Chain A
């Protein structure tokens, strides 16, 4: 075994350039694989946090039937009692009551369907970061009635500016059409261009005046941390039997499943990288076997048996990836260590990414188990790629060595 290893190792360096090219491609392939994976995880994580922070929060409470078709009549019952329960719940860091209505927004030029969200400005500030997304005007800092916050994308579409007048039209609980004139008090920009286009914020007190009733559809809560969400949800569920209590994973399952869906894709990407490497390795080893066919024939002639010849070629192949893989992993780990601190600024392509809800700076992250996974993957695939050249070597005839002319 020691001699096999020695011969295999020296054989690799008989054609240093060729071996270095294969090793280099293994290093690059694994590095790229690790980086892509970490980048995608970073992307997902970023998307989740930004969704939670900008809109959905950790936990939402509704009338049990509200989420079935979002009808305005399913308001939160006994909001005062509910508020009290939330005040007394340990796990709740902050809460905000919202009214949700579908309606139209009209400017003198255009109209657009929107979700109208009625908020309490101080409550909302504690739960989401809408206030920090204001790019023009203020976050309801006005003494006037009927102030509205609209998204930058919507403002462009409606051709309205700060202090422009817009009209909101919607139905009350008895299906009467209600409309009200609002003045643009602030313009916000989140990471989701689409979201900005379809959501407007007004204050609950203005809405209640128009509806002539004081009701809410949703209570959005923040837990102390992402890890506490499950516990808080369970505790609230048991206390609020007549309400629908849901955590972010159930409110926005696509966020929770994104990791899983992505894992499938990443797995595929890794397999594709591995396949590319396999072809490189097979090609190199076939070349090596072909060039050394006389030598291998001689070895079999003098009495080296087939399993030993097989082991020799196998060892050579494994050595190639044994040199390449750890270097690739080290390089990958290093890259992630650095970029997870500095972040990767994507503002160059930022506008494109924003429309799908991504921020500009991505912080790659990776699970340590992934390195183990990659090690196994590389080992298995190298073994697979070693089989064909090794078998080819076994087909050589010892007489090849003697017939030199």
Chain B
């Protein structure tokens, strides 16, 4: 089943007189359980593409369907609700609420979804244990390393039981050890629980772990390779 489907997706940035076609007619299909990396040089349009797929940025042309639902015509509030129910996000930085502990951060998204306190507690502890942070439940983000923070973000993204997880350069701020640890965790979740991941990266070691590699340049897909 196709979870993500873009047709002729384009993004035109207009700033004053300057026009940038950041994404140029991208048609991409991602199926349940895929582990896909979007790669390409800086400025090629990776972030822009992911933002449109995630319903964070307006679409200039073409369409995005998530699990059969076209998100083009949704208004801002509908998009927020749609994201909450369907997409897990891991950003490069500023993922966590600084004043909440690791566990409270994971619980927070379930609170937004209206999940019961018992379920929230159980699931957040479970997920934090899975990402190897069983001893960091009550620690605030500023006392966690960058890699640990990203693992909390992955746990948070999983907590909402999304259809897929979108991660824009999740390892960009991490050293190589943290990078491989985070990737191992993501890969394991993908394998064991069939969770769909779509992430962008510059990092060759991350690219090596991907099972499908979509390369874009100047906003166009130039290769799409499955291993």
Contact = CB atoms under 8 A, between A and B. Distances in A.
Interface of A: 3, 6-7, 10-11, 14, 294-295, 297-306, 308, 398-399, 401-404
Nearest to B95: A298
B83 interface: yes
B95 to A, nearest CB: 7
Contacts of B92: 402, 404
A304 to B, nearest CB: 6
A298 B91 contact: yes
Contact of A7 (B47, B97, B113, B160): B97
Interface string B59-98: 0000000000000000011001101110001011111011
Contact of B84 (A297, A303, A399, A402): A303
B99 A14 contact: yes
B83 A402 contact: no
B57 interface: yes
A292 to B, nearest CB: 9
Given A298-B94, A402-B168, A304 B80 contact: yes
7 cross-chain pairs, A with B, having the tightest CB-CB distances, nearest first: A303-B84, A10-B99, A294-B94, A303-B83, A398-B56, A305-B80, A404-B93
Contacts of B156: 302
A6 B57 CA distance: 31
Interface of B: 47, 51, 54, 56-57, 76-77, 80-81, 83-85, 89, 91-95, 97-100, 104, 108-109, 111-113, 156, 160, 168
Given A301-B89, A302-B84, A305-B77, A404 B112 contact: no
A303 B108 contact: no
Contact of B94 (A6, A7, A401): A401
A402 B47 contact: yes
Given A3-B108, A294-B94, A403-B47, A301 B56 contact: yes
A40 to B, nearest CB: 43
Contacts of B94: 294-295, 297-298, 401, 404
A275 B69 CA distance: 49
Tell me which of B57, B89, B94, B111 has the highest count of chain A C-beta atoms within 10 A of its own C-beta: B94
A7 B112 contact: no
Nearest to A403: B47
B81 A305 contact: yes
Contacts of B84: 302-305
A298 B112 CA distance: 14
Contacts of B89: 301-302
A398 B51 CA distance: 9
Nearest to A405: B92
24 contacts: A3-B104, A3-B108, A3-B111, A10-B100, A297-B94, A298-B91, A298-B95, A301-B83, A302-B84, A302-B112, A303-B80, A303-B109, A303-B112, A303-B113, A304-B80, A305-B80, A305-B81, A306-B77, A398-B56, A399-B57, A402-B47, A402-B51, A402-B56, A404-B94
A299 B91 CA distance: 12
Contacts of B91: 298, 301, 401-402, 404
A302 B83 contact: yes
B112 A304 contact: yes
A14 B98 contact: yes
B112 A295 contact: no
B97 A303 contact: no
Contacts of B100: 6-7, 10
Nearest to A292: B98
Contacts of A403: 47
Nearest to A4: B111
Contacts of A399: 51, 56-57
Contacts of B85: 303
A6 B83 CA distance: 24
A11 B80 contact: no
Nearest to B51: A399
A295 B98 contact: yes
B169 to A, nearest CB: 9
Contacts of B81: 303, 305
A302 B55 CA distance: 11
B109 A302 contact: yes
A298 B54 CA distance: 13
Nearest to A295: B94
Given A302-B89, A303-B84, A7 B109 contact: no
Contacts of B160: 302-303
Contacts of A301: 54, 56, 83, 89, 91
Nearest to A303: B84
Nearest to A2: B111
B138 to A, nearest CB: 14
A303 B160 CA distance: 10
A303 B111 CA distance: 11
Contacts of B77: 305-306
Tell me which of A7, A11, A303 has the highest count of chain B C-beta atoms within 10 A of its own C-beta: A303
Nearest to A293: B94
